[in-house]
Amino acid sequence: MFPEYRDLISSLKNSNPHFSRLFNQHNELDQKIKNIESQPVGFSGAEVETLKKEKLRLKDELYVLLKQAAV
């Protein structure tokens, strides 16, 4: 995610607790979605779609924070 901001992401994860929390939530959702998609038993498409939308919302918020920090 955002390879052009790799160094800034590392810095923000250490210095900004809000960014770090969002980043970890995004990664946890990503892993959960991958696990569900590899064994979708017991999950509906709507549930996976909701998780993907939340992951995208977090990614958008992270991007805004990255853009602000890059200035």
Regarding pTM above 0.85, the answer is: yes
* Percent above pLDDT 70 for the chain: 100
pLDDT of residue 1: 85
Per-position DSSP letters for 24-39, written without gaps between them: HHHHHHHHHHHHHHHS
Tokens of 17: 């607790």
- The DSSP code for 59 is H
Read off the pLDDT of each residue in 38-66 and give the average, rounded to a whole number. 92
pLDDT at 22: 98
Residue 40: pLDDT over 80: no
**pLDDT above 80 (res 43):** no
All structural domains of the chain with their residue ranges? 3-70
pLDDT, residue 54, reads: 98
CA atoms of 67 and 71, how far apart (whole Å) = 7
